[in-house]
Amino acid sequence: MKSSFFHNKYKGIVIGGSAGSFKPITKLLADLPKDFPIPIFLCLHRLKHVRHGFIEALSIKSSKPIFEPLDKELVRPGMVYLAPANYHLCIELGNTVSLSTEGLINNSRPAIDLTFKTAAYVYKEKLIGILFSGANKDGALGMKAIKDKGGVTIIQDPEESMMNTMPQSAKQVTEIDFCLEAEKITNFLLDLYKAYQK
Amino acid sequence: MQRDIEIAELRRLTQYIDDNFDYDFKNYAMSSFTRRVRRVIELYKFTSVEALIKKFKNDPAFFQEFVSEITVNVTEMFRDPTFWSSLRDEIIPEVIKEHRKISIWHAGCSSGEEVISMCILLKELNCLESATIVATDIDQSIINKAKKASFSSKNMELNKQNYERYGGKHDFLSYFVEDNGFFYIKPELIERVSFRVQDLVKGNPFSKFDLILCRNVMIYFNQTLQNEVLKKLHGSLFKYGNLAIGSKESLIWCDIANKFVVVNNEEKIYKKIKD
Ligand SMILES: C[S@@+](CC[C@H](N)C(=O)[O-])C[C@H]1O[C@@H](n2cnc3c(N)ncnc32)[C@H](O)[C@@H]1O
């Protein structure tokens, strides 16, 4: 892999997924070291009425602190922030997140496009966007925004994805830096982790 | 409009609005406000923020339409069902027991779903007659809609599900009259509600309440404005009155947080303990 990607300047990682993404994402979170320094923002399609249980399910195997942020919460290194049910999660200038009940986007709230676009606006080239399996197009335009601002785009290999519409749609609208199997995505982040250890 | 809206453009817009219409959007949360402005620009096919300002100059009446479009009106009846059951089981019975009556303010009531939920809840607790309710919003057209209290059948399914999750024991739809695909709330249920236009930013406290609901309104404000508005809400509560904010909002980083105690952290219900 191109070594130019492995530096310690990243400010955030956004991860999106829908149907078929829960398993690989849980695995990814389980494999990340507890002190993995870059804040991670997860936007996953989820049932709007089930406020509880999701965090617990994601946390079972992970040593990382995963939680749903409150509106205007300060972003801290090493944390994993999950978009709450029925709210859009946005990244704000000034190192905070905000929540919003704006209408559905791509039939979704939270919408991956919105999390990705707002993160791209704030973090620009210091952002990594990762899109996993899913059965709709949410996230594609978000990935484009990330690429347009100079960030890094990674999709789960459509061959491996349980539902490939989501990674495939991203590929259709923008340049994808890495198309990887889930395990390789984890390796990518572990290599990155090493860059932060130096 | 393809390119990003610049911060300087937004400043010109909010300054123009403040100077000419006496509304202050300067401290609305940046990312959502920018998206809403962009939405208006696209909806009306303006070419830029400048073009929008020009429209205000030529057609000041357009401003009310702008306010309607800029505000986010998404709402549901019995949104967060467990919030409503804690009002029913803990908060409201306590106030009624103490005072035999209750005054309630819905600040940022949108199209009234929250108000309807409250009226149904009070009715089922047999204390609707003991309540005075004021419901306000910045947006005149959404207040008109709330007064009409008619809901399209496509939203009623969700409202009904929420009611059931809240543990409602009645036939939910019996509170409404159906006509032509719309459900109208029975007038006697909301006859005690006074709907008014009120701006939380420029307006001042106008009365005192036992319970204020201001849910999913301050998420559209930045922290400076959240602080200011919280002071006004505080000033509008009787001592030991209750304040409910959205389930993903927080008071802890506000200046006057110490004048409240948490009653229910999960549902974000607070009690004023100091003047
Ligand atoms: C998302 S809705 C919340 C509706 C309801 N409280 C709920 O939680 O379902 C937000 C409402 O706040 C209103 N709002 C925004 N700015 C306001 C202001 N400065 N003063 C009063 N209301 C405002 C909007 O017009 C909108 O109807």
The CATH number for B163's domain is: 3.40.50.150
Residue B230 covered by a domain? yes
Residue to substitute from A54, A92, A99, interface B, most B β-carbons within 10 A: A99
A148 is catalytic: no
**B179 and B47 in one domain?**
no
How many domains, chain B?
Answer: 2
User: Chain-wide mean pLDDT for chain A?
Assistant: 94
**B148 and B16 in one domain?**
no
Residue B86 covered by a domain? yes
Residue B75 covered by a domain? no
B216 — contact with chain A (CB < 8 Å)? Answer: yes
Cα B109 to averaged position of ligand 1 atoms, centre (Å): 6
pLDDT of res. A2? 58
Q: Is B71 in the pocket of ligand 1 (CB under 6 A)?
A: yes
In this complex, which of B82, B165, B249 lies closest to A70 when CB atoms are compared?
B249
B108 — contact with chain A (CB < 8 Å)? Answer: no
- For the stretch A64-80, pLDDT in tens is 999 999 999 999 999 99
Q: Which has more pLDDT, B70 or A56?
A: B70
pLDDT of res. B3? 83
Q: Is B110 in the pocket of ligand 1 (CB under 6 A)?
A: yes
Give the ipTM. 0.92
What domains, with CATH codes, occur in chain A? 3-197 (3.40.50.180)
Q: Say if residue A115's pLDDT is above 80.
A: yes
Of the candidates B239, B240, B237, B143, the residue with the CA atom closest to the CA atom of residue B198: B143
**B139 and B11 in one domain?**
no
Q: Please, where are the H alpha helices in chain A?
A: 22-31, 54-59, 112-123, 140-148, 165-173, 182-197
**B111 and B62 in one domain?**
no
pLDDT of res. A197? 87
Q: Say if residue A47's pLDDT is above 80.
A: no
**B112 and B65 in one domain?**
no
- Which residue among B47, B70, B93 closes a domain? B70
**B264 and B128 in one domain?**
yes
| pLDDT beneath 50: ranges in chain B | none
Which of these is catalytic: A21, A31, A45, A133? Answer: A45
**B187 and B251 in one domain?**
yes
Interchain CB distance below 8 Å, A102 and B72: yes
**B260 and B220 in one domain?**
yes
Q: Say if residue A38's pLDDT is above 70.
A: yes
A45 is catalytic: yes
Domain enclosing residue B90, as ranges: 81-272
CA-nearest residue to A98 within chain B is: B219
pLDDT of res. A3? 63
Q: Say if residue A57's pLDDT is above 90.
A: no
- Measured between alpha carbons, how far is A37 from A122 in angstroms, rounded to an integer? 18
User: What is the three-state SS of chain B?
Assistant: CCCCCCHHHHHHHHHHHHHHHCCCCCCECHHHHHHHHHHHHHHCCCCCHHHHHHHHHHCCCHHHHHHHHHCCCCCCCCCCHHHHHHHHHHHHHHHHHHHCCEEEEEECCCCCHHHHHHHHHHHHCCCHHHEEEEEEECCHHHHHHHHHCEEEHHHHHHHHHHHHHCCCCCCHHHHEEEECCEEEECHHHHCCEEEEECCCCCCCCCCCEEEEEECCCHHHECHHHHHHHHHHHHHCEEEEEEEEECCCCCCCCCCCHHHEEEEECCCCEEEECCC
pLDDT of res. A46? 82
**B91 and B50 in one domain?**
no
**B165 and B110 in one domain?**
yes
- Which residue among B29, B45, B70 closes a domain? B70
Q: Say if residue A1's pLDDT is above 60.
A: no
This prediction's pTM: 0.95
pLDDT of res. A42? 98
pLDDT of res. B167? 97
Work out the average pLDDT over A53-57.
Answer: 84
**B52 and B93 in one domain?**
no
Answer yes or no: are the C-beta atoms of A29 and A56 closer than 8 Å.
Answer: no
Residue B1 covered by a domain? no
- Which residue among B17, B39, B70 closes a domain? B70
Residues in B touching A121 (Cβ below 8 Å): 4, 31
In this complex, which of B31, B80, B223 lies closest to A90 when CB atoms are compared?
B31
**B124 and B224 in one domain?**
yes
